[in-house]
Structure 1
Amino acid sequence: MAGGIRKSVLIPVAVFVLIGGALLALASSGGRDVAGEGYLDRPLPEFAQPPLIGDERGLAASDIRGEVALINVFASWCAVCLSEHPMLMRLAEEEEVALYGLNWRDRPGAGRRFLDRHGDPYVATGEDAAGRLGAQLAVTGVPETYLVDAEGRIRYRHVGALTERVWQEVLRPLIREIEKPS
Structure 2
Amino acid sequence: MTSEQDTQAVGGGEDSGSHWGKRVLFLLPVVIFLIVAGYFAWGLLSDRDPSRVPSALIDQKVPQFDLPPVAGLDSPGLSTADLMQADQPVLLNVWASWCVPCRAEHPILMRLAERDGVTVHGINYKDTPADARRFIQNLGNPYTRIGADRSGRAGIQLGVYGVPETYVIGPSGKIRYKHTGPIDSKALNQKILPLLEKLGG
Per the TM superposition, whether the score is higher than 0.5 is: yes
Q: Give the number of aligned pairs.
A: 179
In the alignment, which residue of structure 2 is the partner of 1:10? 27
Confirm or deny: 8 A CA contact 2:108 2:184 kept in the other structure.
yes
**Counterparts of 1:52 and 1:3, CA distance in 2:** 64
Confirm or deny: 8 A CA contact 2:125 2:152 kept in the other structure.
yes
In the alignment, which residue of structure 1 is the partner of 2:68? 50
Q: Which of 17, 41, 47 lines up with 2:59 in the alignment? A: 41
**Counterparts of 1:13 and 1:32, CA distance in 2:** 30
> Aligned partner of 2:82: which letter?
D
Q: Give CA-to-partner distance per residue, 1:89-132, whole Å, 9 cap, x none.
A: 11112342110011223345332222222111101111223322
Confirm or deny: 8 A CA contact 2:51 2:179 kept in the other structure.
no
CA shift in 2, pair 1:20/1:146, >3 Å: same
The root-mean-square deviation of aligned C-alpha atoms, in Å, is 2.3
SS across alignment from 2:35: helix
Confirm or deny: 8 A CA contact 2:53 2:180 kept in the other structure.
yes
Confirm or deny: 8 A CA contact 2:52 2:178 kept in the other structure.
no
Larger radius of gyration: 2
Structure 1 residue 60 corresponds to structure 2 residue 107: no
TM-score normalised by structure 1 residue count: 0.83
Which region of structure 1 is more displaced relative to structure 2, 56-65 or 78-87? Answer: 56-65
Percent identical: 37
Which region of structure 1 is more displaced relative to structure 2, 165-174 or 43-52? Answer: 165-174
- Unmatched 5+ stretches in structure 2: 1-17
**Counterparts of 1:32 and 1:53, CA distance in 2:** 31
SS across alignment from 1:7: helix
- Unmatched 5+ stretches in structure 1: none
SS across alignment from 2:73: coil
